[in-house]
Structure 1
Amino acid sequence: MKEFLLKIRKELEKENEKIINHPLIKEAEKGKLKFEKIKNFVSQQIYIVNHDLRSLAIMLSRSKYDDEVEFFYTLISGDYEALKRLKLLAEEIKVDFSEPIPMAIAYTHYLAWLANYANPGEQATALVINLPVWGEACKKFGKALKEKYNIKNIGFFELFSGPFDKIEEMAIKIMERYKDSLSNMEKCAKLIQSYELMFWNGIYQW
């Protein structure tokens, strides 16, 4: 399964580079990103993480094996902590939740689809392909907010900075059980990265 993940990541290299080196991040690193876009990032993430938590809970509720329960519980615990840190950031920079940006929140709606219609192997594949890329983008964006905008509460970004080795090991064990669904696993992984890029584009273009 490690080779399968490597194959998917190789095919997603260009897409993932667009996320990790997104203009939103690049402008923040130069201190040129409008503060309103930072606020939009935070407000949309509050919406997303709130809904991601519910989707992950559905995934856990549909789990049939102990390792699946442990995997989704680990992710739920991480997102719950992330939401607490995100609210501290929102308080610091005085964010009121703005209206949902459709392009930005499409990711969490796709996660809800995965929660209800995909099997745990497909869910685990999508999540383990997405997390390291999201994590790298978070690390860069959080560092920029601290250094260029003097924002103190960047714990949300630090939480997602990795490493993700343990999560990947857990995911691989689950994926092995559903190896008859390899084609769907790949589709789910590629789709979630498209939705991830849509998030960054949505914030940047709004």
Structure 2
Amino acid sequence: MLDAQQLCAGVRQDLVDVEERIRGNPWVAELEAGRLSTEALRAFAGEQHQVIASDLRSFEVLTQRFTAEPAHDYLASMTGGERVALQALGAFATAVGLDSPALQSYEPVSGCQAYPSYVARLARDGTPAEVAGALLVNLDAWGSCCARIADALPDTHQLAPQDCAFFAHFAGPTTELERSSLEVIDAGLAQGVEPASIKRAARLLQAYELLFWESLPR
């Protein structure tokens, strides 16, 4: 039987072109080149405020839906991670001049919000294996972009390390997250979750990740 590691390796290979487009997206490249305005950073903060708040609620729903292990611990950990990210995002938003009222009133771009909308759909209808598979495949590309942003911001916009904690949070070591994700996927496969449904979830989420970067105001 196909195991989680083999399944995810195959999906990553199938989606290599999409991942390369995410890593090569113009928004991050323009930031690194010093050509991205502070207004663009405010837009990123506004979009991510919507994304993270939605994803947090999605993981709360998933944690309530699935109480058996290993899914419950994995989902609870993801919920905690989103709470940390939301707090760190507030510091970034403040640093780029987007105060709390402005953050709350920010009008999001539709293309940037397809990603959390799909996560919400998975929270309602999906299995932990589909969620873990999609996020695991998405992890490297998103984490790579966040690492580059964290490295660039102190030079391009003179932000302090604490202002970049949001990006450092997602750029950090992922060994334990990968281990727990594979465990959840293996458990799902053993319970009859179709590999095709995990592949589909990963393909769609990765496409929505690309759409996020392509839709971000520059």
Fold match, TM over 0.5?
yes
The equivalent of 1:77 in structure 2 is: 80
Deviation (angstroms), 1:66: 2.3
Identity over the aligned pairs, expressed in percent? 27
Unpaired runs of 5+ residues, structure 1, are none
The equivalent of 1:145 in structure 2 is: 153
Deviation (angstroms), 1:131: 2.0
**Does the CA contact (< 8 Å) of 1:58 and 1:115 recur in 2?**
yes
**Residue 195 in structure 1 maps to residue 208 in structure 2:** yes
Deviation (angstroms), 1:185: 0.2
**Does the CA contact (< 8 Å) of 1:16 and 1:133 recur in 2?**
yes
The amino acid that maps onto 2:202 is A
The equivalent of 2:108 in structure 1 is: 100
Deviation (angstroms), 1:147: 1.7
Separation (CA, whole Å) in 1 of partners of 2:139 and 2:200:
16
Please, which of 178, 181, 184 is the counterpart of residue 168 of structure 1?
Answer: 178
Separation (CA, whole Å) in 1 of partners of 2:211 and 2:149:
16
Deviation (angstroms), 1:84: 0.7
**Does the CA contact (< 8 Å) of 1:19 and 1:196 recur in 2?**
yes
Q: Deviations over 1:101-122 (max 9, x none)?
A: 1001111011000000111111
Separation (CA, whole Å) in 2 of partners of 1:106 and 1:21:
20
Deviation (angstroms), 1:142: 2.0
Unpaired runs of 5+ residues, structure 2, are none
**Does the CA contact (< 8 Å) of 1:122 and 1:188 recur in 2?**
yes
The amino acid that maps onto 1:57 is E
Q: Which moved more, 1:85-94 or 1:143-152?
A: 143-152
Deviation (angstroms), 1:160: 0.4
Q: Secondary structure at the match of 2:171?
A: coil
Please list every run of at least 4 consecutive aligned residues from structure 1 whose deviation after the TM superposition is greater than 2 angstroms: none
**Does the CA contact (< 8 Å) of 1:20 and 1:137 recur in 2?**
yes
Q: Secondary structure at the match of 1:104?
A: helix
Give the TM-score normalised by the residue count of structure 1. Answer: 0.95
Separation (CA, whole Å) in 2 of partners of 1:4 and 1:19:
21
Q: Secondary structure at the match of 1:145?
A: helix
Q: Deviations over 1:50-85 (max 9, x none)?
A: 111000111111114122111011111111111111
- How many residue pairs end up in the alignment? 205
The equivalent of 2:135 in structure 1 is: 127
Please, which of 22, 26, 40 is the counterpart of residue 37 of structure 1?
Answer: 40
Deviation (angstroms), 1:154: 0.1
Taking only aligned residues, the RMSD between alpha carbons, in angstroms, comes to 1.2
Q: Secondary structure at the match of 2:42?
A: helix
**Does the CA contact (< 8 Å) of 2:38 and 2:96 recur in 1?**
no
**Residue 67 in structure 1 maps to residue 70 in structure 2:** yes
Separation (CA, whole Å) in 2 of partners of 1:43 and 1:118:
27
The equivalent of 1:136 in structure 2 is: 144
